Structure 1
Amino acid sequence: MTTLEQKLAFDRIIERVEKARLRVDGHHIVKIVAASKYVDAEAIRSLYAIGQRAFGENKVQDLMSKSEALEELPIEWHFIGTLQKNKINHLLSVRPHLLHSIDSVELAHALNERLERNDMTLRALIQVNSAYEESKSGFLPEEISENYARIREECPRLHLQGIMSIGAHVDDPKTVRKSFETTRRIFESLPNATTCSMGMSGDFELAIECGSNLVRLGSILFPKP
């Protein structure tokens, strides 16, 4: 794909985001995080060159290696995968802009301890399993209010920004919409929450219509040759 073709494809995706946003209210801004887990540093560099600034990785090792390879670019790095406690030090060495996936109180405490030790803070989202799927990590909807408040109180080095969820893994749009609407209702109930991260390449328009203000787009931004 030439640079011009990539730019035109990128513009079409932005247009789809804007149309979905306008179908809701036209007021809220939607941030795009490019999920770059399946591409190399040069593919990230190419997308950066046409205007994309936020990139998300699922594995700490990949985040470290790609951020090092692209250290001359002021990329806004996000960690969007499941974080293992033994990878916390490596993650913090990158100083990511946002961690999307706190899925337990234990992980929050481990992060806070390491942040305290390093005199650091970290923006983070709590992961919600809105679809009640066993294959997904995160708190169940009825657990969020109590645990969000608990983490805010007990882990001051974590600056909670809101929540993240993955849409129901089914073909029925109504079921997917229900999982997104559940996430949105939770988001609106949380004090000072600003980020509702939901929606990926296959369902981002529906997620935006349901109130998402951050989408994580991978395959649609990095199509296979």
Structure 2
Amino acid sequence: MKDSVGRNIERVRETIAAACEKAGRDPQEVKIVAVTKGVDTECMAEALACGIRIFGENRVQEAMKKMPVFAGMDVEWHFIGRIQRNKIKKILEHFHCVHSLDREDFGKEMSHRLRSAGRGGYPVLLEVNLTGKETQGGVREEELPGLVRAIATLSELRIVGLMTIGPLGESEESIRRVFRRLRELKDMVNALNIPGVFLTELSMGMSDDYHLAILEGATMIRLGRAIFGERRT
């Protein structure tokens, strides 16, 4: 038994508004990335009808099966999963943005493919692992400046922000500390004044903790269960 997607989105927007009011922010600064892993196109269409414009997918093949349903519509597809080298070509062909770049060699591969296709300015976020958990992707924070400098030399890519995954099942303060640190890292990178690099996006916060992420400056929140209910696949 699941709530209607529309009703869930209404609740999400109320939570965003409340968190933004508490933080002294404009709710328009927060973009909802609807995580559609395991979600059917009927539910996605309902979300689209309610004003959701960004779909986030972890799996390239699953996303490609859904994309034709929304061809020609005002939709952005963001890749939010772990990058695999053999999937880079399809990611660049089918997704508008990548949230999870964490390796220089993958950046070089992306840049090479974009250059060959005559494309440039492709937006990427760099993923930072702030929990220390090996199961999560991302560079360690001390590695971030080096990765930024390396990716900044690849003119086909445009670094627009940072992404992280908050700690699961910890106290609100522990979760906020991780999100706060990502914001501090964004400010640190901007203070380096690297040519062509000015970060504006913070992709952080999921269904259980997005209200905390907003308090710490999230501009993109990645929501699956909060919108679509429990995943069925």
User: Is this a same-fold pair by TM over 0.5?
Assistant: yes
Q: CA RMSD in A?
A: 1.8
- The SS at the match of 1:74 is coil
- The SS at the match of 2:81 is coil
Mapped to 2, the partners of 1:217 and 1:98 lie a distance apart of 17
Mark the runs of 5 or more structure 2 residues left unpaired by the alignment.
Answer: 191-197
What is the count of residue pairs matched by the alignment?
222
Shift of 1:165: 0.4
- The SS at the match of 1:216 is strand
- What's 2:38 paired with? 38
Shift of 1:58: 0.4
Shift of 1:184: 0.9
Deviations 1:66-106 (A, max 9, x none): 11222142211111111101111111221x22110001111
- Do 1:124 and 1:158's aligned partners in 2 also have CA atoms closer than 8 Å? yes
- Do 2:5 and 2:43's aligned partners in 1 also have CA atoms closer than 8 Å? no
For 2:209, give the aligned amino acid: D
Identify which of structures 1 and 2 has the higher relative contact order when contacts are C-alpha pairs closer than 8 Å and 6+ apart.
2
- What's 1:145 paired with? 145
Task: Give me the TM-score of the superposition, normalised by structure 1.
Answer: 0.92
Mark the runs of 5 or more structure 1 residues left unpaired by the alignment.
Answer: none
- What's 1:169 paired with? 168
Q: Aligned ranges for residues 144-223 of structure 1 at < 5 Å?
A: 144-153=144-153, 155-191=154-190, 192-223=198-229
- The SS at the match of 1:160 is strand
Mapped to 2, the partners of 1:188 and 1:24 lie a distance apart of 18
Moved >6 Å (runs of 4+): none
- Do 1:162 and 1:190's aligned partners in 2 also have CA atoms closer than 8 Å? no
- The SS at the match of 1:124 is strand
Deviations 1:139-161 (A, max 9, x none): 111111221122112x1111110
Mapped to 1, the partners of 2:159 and 2:59 lie a distance apart of 21
- What's 2:77 paired with? 77
- Do 1:63 and 1:79's aligned partners in 2 also have CA atoms closer than 8 Å? no
Task: Give me the TM-score of the superposition, normalised by structure 2.
Answer: 0.89
- What's 1:68 paired with? 68
Mapped to 2, the partners of 1:119 and 1:152 lie a distance apart of 18
Shift of 1:2: 9.8
For 2:140, give the aligned amino acid: L
Report percent identity of matched pairs: 32
- The SS at the match of 1:161 is strand
